[in-house]
Amino acid sequence: MNSIAYFPGHEPESAPVPEEQPRGPQLENGYVRISHEVMRALGRARLRGSEYPIVLFVIDETWGWHVKNKVMTTNYISEGLQIPKGKVSTAVAELIRRGILYRVGDSQGPIGFNKHHGQWKAKSSASKTVKRANPEWEMIHQNGERIVSQNGEQTVHQNGESNKDRKDRKDITPLSDQSDDEARADLESLFDEFWQAGLRKDGKKPAREKFIALLNKQSDPASFARRLVDDVRIRLDAAVPGFDKLHPKTYLNQQRWLDDVPERCPHAAILAAWNEEMPAHIEKISADDWTPESRGFQALASAWENFKTKPRASTGKPVFTEEQEGIEFYREVFRRLAKVDRVQGEDAFRWCRLSWAAQQQVTVQIFKGEVA
């Protein structure tokens, strides 16, 4: 028997239990397989600012989960990386332009990483050609050296050299000879492109002032201007209600380019499916009559977005995720509607209209065979 009694206060000290050391990140908790070739290509890609972490984030969210692409909103990426939404939006647009990332479908479609680095484009050089019009602001020369305009005419470098001092040096890239007048002309040209993007032609002078003020705050004015133009066209194409009547200055003041973009609904293709599948006595729809102001247009756009983005309770998945798949879904809905006995009647044209069938609840009822 090994039991030993000890007087109180005379018990032997127990050996300290060593604290478990943290193991750190483990492969068993998830990892991403990526080739050396791709990693080296990323190193040579000269990614700027937020672009590199965004590329890695996209790779982790896709390849890390054995999928090629995934729906990732600006907010999702911004929260995941703690990067402002504006910078995320600009960086993603540039990465897609360069072909490093790609998007499936429209502006809300899934994003993926393009591993074929031979298809990647060079980074934008627009920032080299656009100079801020205010002579007190600093600029970054294309060779990376910061320059400061002191009096609107003389440019002095950090090392104290002026343009005149550097004129005959052969070890550096010559500075741009762009004058302030030329710089203003560049900004005016960018504004003209924005003005023609499709917003309401009203309040041009205040819109120009606001636009140029915004560009003067950007490190890459031309890229930012291009982003605004693309954003306006995307929203007009998506038929955002009231967007075509929006004043340009209001768009700029409210920073509407940061708003989430609704799904683009392919109205023309769905109209064509309706006209082809419905009986001859049912009203055919012209694209000229199917305008964003009409209730049918708005109902179809809303239903399309819900069908494409919101999961069904029964399956946990959207009705469709690709544009062509959605067009075929609507075509099948119209085929089923055309077979309904009541639609075969000659007076069906009085009530059987696309503006009615486009309502989400009605579309679901037609698909389920609940319209008799």
78-92 per-position pLDDT tens digit: 989 999 888 888 889
The helix (run of H) or strand (run of E) holding residue 346 is none
Q: What's the confidence (pLDDT) of residue 368?
A: 92
pLDDT at 108 over 50: yes
3-state secondary structure of 70: strand
Q: Report which DSSP code applies to 196.
A: T
pLDDT at 166 over 60: no
Q: What's the confidence (pLDDT) of residue 151?
A: 42
Q: What's the confidence (pLDDT) of residue 195?
A: 93
What is the share, in percent, of the chain residues with pLDDT greater than 70?
Answer: 76
Q: What's the confidence (pLDDT) of residue 153?
A: 40
pLDDT digits (tens, 9 = 90+) for 242-299: 788 889 999 999 888 887 766 778 898 999 999 999 999 999 998 888 887 788 988 8
pLDDT digits (tens, 9 = 90+) for 295-320: 898 889 889 988 988 888 888 889 99
pLDDT at 152 over 50: no
- Rounded CA separation 200/256 (Å): 15
Structure tokens at 291: 């305008």
Mean pLDDT of the chain: 80
Domains and CATH numbers, the chain: 30-119 (1.10.10.10), 132-177 (no CATH), 179-264 (no CATH), 267-367 (no CATH)
pLDDT at 239 over 60: yes
Q: What's the confidence (pLDDT) of residue 359?
A: 94
- Threshold 0.85, pTM exceeds: no
pLDDT digits (tens, 9 = 90+) for 169-214: 444 444 344 455 666 778 888 999 999 998 999 999 999 999 999 9
- b/e per residue 270-306 (b: at least 16 CB within 10 A): bbebbeebbeeebbebeeeebebeeebbbbbbbbbbe
Average pLDDT over residues 91-105: 87
Q: What's the confidence (pLDDT) of residue 133?
A: 45
pLDDT at 337 over 90: yes
pLDDT digits (tens, 9 = 90+) for 32-78: 888 888 899 998 988 988 899 999 999 999 888 888 888 888 888 99
DSSP E strands in 80-124: the ranges are 101-103, 111-113
Q: What's the confidence (pLDDT) of residue 143?
A: 40
pLDDT at 136 over 90: no
Q: What's the confidence (pLDDT) of residue 366?
A: 95
- Rounded CA separation 183/189 (Å): 10
Q: What's the confidence (pLDDT) of residue 33?
A: 84
**Is the model more confident about 137 or about 165?**
165
CB proximity list for 20: less than 8 A, separation 6 or greater:
none
- Nearest to 187, CA basis, from 211, 161, 166: 211
Candidate from 101-105, 124-128, 187-191, 335-339 with smallest mean pLDDT:
124-128
Structure tokens at 232: 């306006």
Q: What's the confidence (pLDDT) of residue 159?
A: 47
Confidence of residue 154 (pLDDT cuts 50, 70, 90): very low
pLDDT at 222 over 80: yes
